[in-house]
Amino acid sequence: MSDEILIRTEGRAGRITLNRPKALNALTWEMCLKIDAALKDWAGDAEVALVLIDGAGERAFCAGGDIAEMYRTGTEGDYDYGRRFWADEYRMNARLYEFPKPVVSFLQGFTMGGGVGVGCHGSHRIVGESSKIAMPECGIGLVPDVGGSLLLSRAPGRLGEYLGTTGARMGPGDAIRAGFADHYLPEADWDALKAELCLSGDCEAVDRACEAAPESPLADQQAEIDTHFGGETLGDILRSLRAAESDFARETLEIMSRNAPLSMGCTVEMLHRLRPEATIRDALAQEYRFTYRAMERGDFLEGIRAAIIDKDRAPRWSHELDNLAEEDVAAMLAPLDAQALTFGEEAAT
């Protein structure tokens, strides 16, 4: 067994611990496959009453996917590696979402990108005082994926468009309000709850232990967010923000000016398509349309270069903020036909 992920049974619980604390528990392809295999085994194991997922260290549950190899292969013209990684990861995300037993996750520190796909699709998602949850993909030329687009589409009002295009970080109260978490518990009490869950296999222990959620700053901004992010396109949102004179509008425009226009435009369109009653598989299949094309026709490689490789924070995006055609958005989200994401067997079995 690889030390980067610890998979075992403990009492009545199937336990998954992401174990790369120095890398903020960034998710590798191998880790995705191991999670998927464990879920298959535990779904039919009568001794496993629930699944408990956590991350080693204090800084992060999982700060995202390990994308170094995607960048290396992509810059060499090999797009297949990334496409296969994403496909396997998305199938694992679907299995987690559809899992027939309770899944309890403990989300300390950073939970971002790929970490959302592992930690935010379970039945009992616990945050603490250090939790910072976000979908920051538009900053690297991707879109909110790993099923995150479904969570965003179901957030109250237009929080989804705001969180998806800006990558804004949610503290514990905001994460619960937006539907990325369910329960708040001070982190000093987590070990005791984990021990009880393993001993009893009773997920009602979560409800007994957890406390009232902290206040949500997003709640105070809800009306302004709904006003500006209610348009049909990215252009509508930008025009609304520019017409306003509030600090919120100015700060939001500054953030969005740094992100990839194509990614933000596709994010807005994706969320609109997913409302009102899409499934996790609908969301993942649509996300895969974008990520399949992200290296060859999108801004992903340039976004990684600027953020991770050269670290110059000066990406040269393929579109200017005010020069994004609707046809370009439609092209990135067009059906893939024979290359479309498939799930094969039922993900929950």
| Annotated catalytic residue within 66, 137, 161, 269 | 137
Q: Are 27 and 66 in contact (CB under 8 A)?
A: yes
Contact between 324 and 265 (Cβ < 8 Å)? yes
Beta strands in 41-192 (DSSP E): 50-55, 60-62, 103-107, 110-112, 124-127, 132-134, 183-184
65 in catalytic set:
yes
Task: Supply 92's token pair.
Answer: 């694992």
Active-site hit among 55, 64, 65, 303 = 65
Could you please report the per-residue DSSP string of 50-93? Answer: EEEEEESSSSEEE--B--HHHHHHHHTT--HHHHHHHHHHHHHH
Cis, bond preceding 261 (omega within 30 deg of 0):
no
Is 71 within 8 Å of 58 (Cβ atoms)? Answer: no
Give yes or no for a contact between 19 and 25, defined as CB atoms under 8 angstroms apart.
yes
Q: Of residues 114, 147, 179, 298, which has the active-site annotation? A: 114
Pairing of strands 5-10, 13-18: antiparallel
Burial class (CB in 10 A: 0-12, 13-18, 19+), 190: middle
As a whole number of angstroms, the distance between CA 348 and CA 100 comes to 6
* Residue 6 DSSP one-character state: E
Distance CA 264, CA 1 (A): 39
Measured in residues, the chain has a length of 349
Place of tokens 């949610």: 170
Given 66, 89, 145, 174, which residue is catalytic? 145
Told to judge if 114 belongs to the known catalytic residues of this protein, a careful annotator would answer yes
Q: Could you tell me which residues come within 8 angstroms of residue 327 by beta carbon, excluding any fewer than 6 positions away?
A: none
Q: Is 145 a catalytic residue?
A: yes
Among all residues, which ones are annotated catalytic?
Answer: 65, 114, 137, 145
